[in-house]
């Protein structure tokens, strides 16, 4: 999901593991990394099976400071049963004469983010979160549809079936003098930070650009982004690039976790 914005098929993975258990006897549990989707799917796609409705899912984490709308940095992890939390993760600390079990990496920590998260739960409720996130999806889908009309781009993900984001690359037959790294660099001059990066191992040949839409990114801002994309494309048409930027030269938006080439 990090690379394109699409959800991982948790239900299909669960079914595959059910079959594996039947064939091999291997009972493999699932942990769902719902960093963004954990605060999106329950409100926008409540019928999507990815959570504890699947018996094989034993734990779920999510980031409250992303689509939970809380300040940096608060995250949540929930286990189906207490027995699903491995004892190896728990530190039993003898503190001021009492035993304090914890599985956090740090001990003293502020509680303001947790209070802010709880406030949002009370103030917004399920319907409030749904309205806010639906606006994000509407903007992402608008952007996906508009970028698909621009000509040289193939939209790989248009905001439908994942988080409120979009991801695109060049069509196989696109004839442009510039790379997506050039386009990203040109947009940066207009104040936009739209990363261009290659996909991870075994698909490093595929370079994409991605936009993530969060609360506060309005339809008006989306229209301005489309206008600036058109302006950047017109600039490159009028001033063809003799040597397109490469990933190594662009260098600042790699999501693939690889060391920069020297």
Give residue 41's pLDDT band: very low, low, confident or very high (50, 70, 90).
very high
Give residue 98's pLDDT band: very low, low, confident or very high (50, 70, 90).
confident
In this prediction, residue 158 carries a pLDDT of 95
In this prediction, residue 111 carries a pLDDT of 86
Give residue 20's pLDDT band: very low, low, confident or very high (50, 70, 90).
very high
Who's near 117: CB < 8 A, 6+ residues apart? 64, 68, 70, 74
The 10s digit of each residue's pLDDT in 138-161 is 999 999 999 999 999 999 999 999
In this prediction, residue 107 carries a pLDDT of 65
Q: Is the pTM of this model over 0.75?
A: yes
Return phi, psi of residue 17, to 5°: -70, -30
Q: Beginning with the edge strand found earlier in the chain, give each strand of the sheet holding 153-157 in spatial order.
A: 153-157, 165-170, 207-212, 196-198
* CA–CA gap between residue 152 and residue 34 (Å, rounded): 33
- The percentage of the chain sitting over the pLDDT mark of 90, rounded to a whole number, equals 74
* Residue 127, token pair as written in the block: 């319907």
Contact 5, 159 (CB under 8 A): yes
Helix residue ranges, H only, the chain = 10-24, 41-44, 112-148, 180-188, 219-238, 247-250
Kindly state the average pLDDT of the residues 225-229.
98
Would you say residue 3 has pLDDT above 80? yes
* CA–CA gap between residue 184 and residue 181 (Å, rounded): 5
Average pLDDT score over the chain: 91
Kindly state the average pLDDT of the residues 214-236.
96
From residue 86, give the alpha-carbon distance in Å to each of 53, 59, 100, 167. Answer: 21, 11, 16, 37
**Ordered domains of the chain (ranges, CATH):** 133-239 (3.90.1150.160)
In this prediction, residue 258 carries a pLDDT of 45
* Residue 111, token pair as written in the block: 């509680």
Kindly state the average pLDDT of the residues 232-248.
92
* Residue 73, token pair as written in the block: 């940095």
How many of the other CB atoms lie within 10 Å of CB of 248? 11
Quote the crossing angle between the two packed helices 219-238 and 180-188, to the nearest 10°: 120
Q: What is the DSSP letter of 172?
A: T
């Amino acid at each position: 999901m990090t690379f394109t914005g699409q959800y991982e098929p948790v239900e299909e993975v669960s079914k595959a593991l059910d079959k594996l258990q039947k064939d091999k006897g291997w009972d493999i549990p699932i942990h769902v990394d719902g960093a963004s989707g954990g605060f999106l799917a329950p409100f926008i796609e409540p019928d999507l099976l990815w959570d504890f409705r699947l018996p094989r899912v034993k734990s779920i984490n999510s980031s409250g400071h992303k689509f939970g709308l809380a300040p940096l940095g608060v995250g949540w992890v929930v286990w189906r049963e207490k027995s699903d939390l491995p004892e190896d993760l728990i530190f039993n600390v003898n503190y001021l004469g009492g035993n304090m079990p914890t599985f956090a990496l740090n001990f003293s920590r502020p509680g303001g983010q947790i209070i802010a998260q709880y406030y949002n739960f009370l103030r917004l409720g399920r319907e409030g979160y749904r309205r806010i996130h639906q606006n994000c999806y509407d903007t992402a889908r608008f952007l996906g549809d508009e970028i698909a009309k621009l000509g040289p781009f193939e939209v790989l993900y248009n905001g439908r079936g994942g988080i409120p984001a979009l991801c695109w690359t060049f069509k196989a037959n696109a004839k442009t003098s510039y790379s997506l790294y050039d386009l990203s660099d040109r947009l940066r001059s207009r104040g936009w930070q739209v990363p261009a990066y290659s996909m991870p191992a075994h698909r490093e040949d595929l370079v994409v650009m991605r936009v993530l839409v969060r609360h506060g990114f309005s339809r008006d801002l989306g229209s301005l982004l489309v206008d600036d994309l058109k302006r950047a494309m017109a600039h490159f048409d009028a001033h063809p690039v003799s040597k397109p930027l490469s990933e190594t030269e662009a260098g600042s938006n790699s999501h693939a976790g690889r060391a920069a080439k020297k």
